[in-house]
Structure 1
Amino acid sequence: MNNNLKERYDSIIFDLDGTLWDSTANVATAWQTAKLEVDYIKDDITQQTVRSITGMAYDAIFEKLFPYLEPDVREEFKRKCAKYELEVLNTKGGELYPELKSTLNYLQNKYKLFVVSNCQCGYIETFLKLNQLEHVFVGHQCYGTKGQPKFQNIIDVVNDYDLKAPVYIGDTQGDYDSATKAGVPIIFATYGFGKVNNGQPLAVIDKFSDLVEVL
């Protein structure tokens, strides 16, 4: 673990799923509810199904899971899933990683905090409201807002908030690639859903609270 990163950065941009919380069980429940309303989805949707696509852009998720559907039918099913997803998460939420709130409280006293995720509109807002974290984060951006790739959303946050030395926290190869393309160094969360096969993160954390030591 790199312990020489303190005082280097003015801000932290977080991925959400696999970095701040794990909502895959409840998302699977929501999508399965949508599946039971239609007759064109072949297989049940499980937590493992959701874990397999976590981190992908929302449109790409449905293209990967349901390539056999016509585009208009796939779009219809995506809308159903999105609707039930927000309904379920607004009630049940996801599982916060251990010591998340105390660690964020520590970090917000030193850095401006942001969230950038490949999720639909309303998802980050649900996470913040349900867990009473609106006051912790300065801003956020998601795929659903503009339909643009994560690296561009990272760039937008950097530019919109005039960040001089941001660092990204994420848990997949996609996070690494996006942050790198945006010109932002990344600290990799090994406890999340993925791993880095190509590239070298700035540092790694094995649990969220390691950020207190690293940053």
Structure 2
Amino acid sequence: MDSIIFDLDGTLWDPRETVLTSWNRAIDEHPKVNKKLTLDDLKQTMGKQMHEISQIFFPELSEEDQKSVMDYLTEIEIPYVAENGGELYPGLEDTLIYLSGKYRLFIVSNCQEGYIEAFYQYHKLDRFFDDFENPGRTGLSKGENIKLVIERNGLENPVYVGDTQGDRDAARKAGVPFVYAKYGFGDVGDYEYEIENLADLKRHF
């Protein structure tokens, strides 16, 4: 193994409180929407792309209006996350210090452009990661973005760490072993490794 590619939400941190606050503020200001989102709403959409989330949250709107709402939510969310951060999972920085001494580290998330940068900006963890990718920048699926990072960085034997079935499916599509983060947001039944917490990565790798 020469590298580890991480999912972000539900794997490295829990951003739901911050994201929920920013999204509800944006919804309050948007003329097309009249509802409040909850933490449970966010949990059921973690790992999905933005167009999928808009279909779940705003099925009553046209596709054009769904995009308009999600664009506005993102406009409010990114600077708010950059200013307020999220809840890092226990042992994250110590684990990254250990792993980065042995492997190259990356992030591939199903987020919008600017979100990973906001995570970096608040928590100052970008020094541990060589590269990142997301569909907001490429328009590709998570599996395709994993492949892109592998090809772009000349990786020969990576693993992907994530917490949802979508992460598992993406790893399979990219042809890489999957490490299931059981503490995250999803339930996955098929994986090569499982971890109860981030520190378990030091034990496995």
Class of the TM-score when normalised by the shorter of the 2 chains: over 0.9
RMSD: 1.0
TM-score, length of structure 1 as denominator length: 0.93
Instruction: Give me the whole-angstrom Cα distance separating, in 2, the residues matched to 1:57 and 1:80.
Output: 15
| In 1: Cα distance, 2:53 partner to 2:8 partner | 16
- Structure 2 CA distance for aligned equivalents of residues 78 and 90 of structure 1: 18
Task: Note if 1:113 corresponds to 2:105.
Answer: yes
The offset of 1:42, in angstroms, is 4.0
1:26 maps to which of 4, 18, 29: 18
- 1:170-202 Cα deviation digits (max 9, x unpaired): 0000000010111010110000000114xx211
What is the SS of the residue equivalent to 1:36? helix
Alpha-carbon displacement from aligned partner over 1:66-120 (angstroms, at most 9, x marks no partner):
1110122111111110011112101111100001000000000000000000000
Aligned counterpart, 1:5: none
Given the alignment, which residue of 194, 198, 209 partners 2:199?
A: 209
- Note the 1:65-214 alignment, pairs <5 A: 65-197=57-189, 200-214=190-204
SS of aligned partner of 2:132: strand
SS of residue paired to 1:98: coil
Q: TM-score, normalised by structure 2?
A: 0.97
CA distances 1:113-145 after superposition (whole Å, capped 9, x unpaired)? 000000000111111121111211000000101
Alpha carbons 1:58, 1:143 under 8 Å: kept: no
CA distance in 1, matches of 2:179, 2:30: 41
Correspondent of 2:35 among 43, 46, 52: 43
Give the conservation status (yes or no) of the 8 Å contact 1:34–1:81.
yes
Identify unmatched segments of 5+ residues in structure 2.
none
Structure 1: unaligned runs, 5 residues or longer:
1-8
Percent sequence identity over matched residues? 41
1:16 to 8, 14, 19: 8
Query: Match for 1:41: what amino acid?
Result: V
35-44 or 54-63, larger mean C-alpha shift = 35-44
Corresponding residue SS for 2:40? helix
Contact 2:165 2:188 in 1 (8 A): yes
Match for 2:111: what amino acid?
A: C
What is the Cα deviation at residue 51 of structure 1? 1.2
CA contact (8 A) 2:79 2:118 kept: no
Quote the Cα distance in structure 2 between the aligned partners of 1:158 and 1:92. 31
Higher relative contact order (CA 8 A, sep 6+): 1
Runs of at least 4 residues of structure 1 off by over 6 A? none
